[in-house]
Amino acid sequence: MKCEELRNLSKEDLIAKVASFKEELSKLNYMKHAGQVDKPHRFKELHRNIARIKTLLNEKNISKKG
């Protein structure tokens, strides 16, 4: 996902996205150990998306405090 798309979402939506990305990541890890991963590049995408969302959540928390 692009950062611009994520900035328009609410805090609750971002938290829900992180949860869904983590769930997908755990499923991919399970498939990796079974040797059935079709899209190995998806690991990198999911990790980056989770990091982007956590950064945005942190920015929103800082802006509310300051």
Q: Could you read off the pLDDT of 17-62 as tens digits, one per residue?
A: 999 999 999 999 999 999 999 999 999 999 999 999 999 999 988 8
Q: Where are the domains of the chain?
A: 3-65
In the predicted structure, residue 66 carries a pLDDT above the cut 80: no
Q: 1 falls in which pLDDT band (50, 70, 90)?
A: confident
pTM of model > 0.85? yes
| Mean pLDDT confidence for 11-18 | 96
Q: What is the pLDDT of residue 65?
A: 81
Architecture of domain 3-65: Orthogonal Bundle (1.10)
Instruction: For 1-66, give the secondary structure using H, E and C.
Output: CCHHHHHCCCHHHHHHHHHHHHHHHHHHHHHHHHCCCCCCHHHHHHHHHHHHHHHHHHHHHHHHHC
